[in-house]
Every structure is written in structure tokens, then in C-alpha cells.
Structure 1
């Protein structure tokens, strides 16, 4: 199901963009994309490169972050 959002100029004037993404949130998203088998055209080359470079010690994060579902709460800290 796709959603389409329509913003007025007033909506856009009130829009704020975060200065930077939280590192653990970024790690969580990257690990999920790395484990996912979808979007081969978009992420396939990146996945192959990362898997080839990922140190054995770093691979434990693959066990920590599930492919789908709920991640450990410390990987998604609440907004400040």
C-alpha cells in the first residue's frame, strides 16, 4: 500500500530536518538492509561489498538485529 502526502507551503515552513542521525539507529537500519533479500538492484552491490569486508567480530550484530520485527530498545533511543 502506498501513501501520498500533500504538504502546503505552511506545512513545509514548519518542517524541521534533524542535523544528524543517531549512530545506533543508523546501524540498526543498515543491518536490516544488509540482511534483507529485497531490492537486489538497489542494494545488491552494497550488500556484497559489505559482507566481504565485515570482520568476524563485527558479525555478532547480525544476531542482535532481527531481519524483521522489533529491535533491541537501545538501538532506537527516544528522541531528546
Structure 2
């Protein structure tokens, strides 16, 4: 009986950790910050999404070149 109790507690602990990580992931993604906090977990379980997120971060960090003084104004 003691072994069953120990196995049950261990399994419930793993399930609780998984649920907490999922909830944290949803909260972080909704707020738009903390992507780096869940990056290692995302890299382990969904490498394609991790690579895509890294590509988006790289793209967002690039700046558009400033126009030269003689260039005509551009409409956005």
C-alpha cells in the first residue's frame, strides 16, 4: 500500500508541475513578455516553434535604414 501511495504522489507531482508550466506559458504569451523564461522548455518540446521565435526576435531587432537627406518623403 505504501508503494502505491508513493507512486501516486510522484505522478500527481509531475502532473501539477506540467499544469503549472502550461498556465505560466499561457500567461506569459498573453502578456507578450518573458518568452525567454520559457525558451528552454519550448526548445525541448517544440524546436520548430523555438527557431521561429528566435527568427522573429532577430527580425524585430533590426532597424530600418534612415533615409538620406536628399531622398523624397515616403508615404507609410
Please indicate, yes or no, whether the TM-score normalized by the shorter chain is above 0.5: no
Which one has a bigger Cα radius of gyration? 2
Could you tell me the TM-score, scaled by structure 1's length? 0.28
Higher relative contact order (CA 8 A, sep 6+): 1
Could you tell me the TM-score, scaled by structure 2's length? 0.29
- Which protein has the bigger helix share? 2
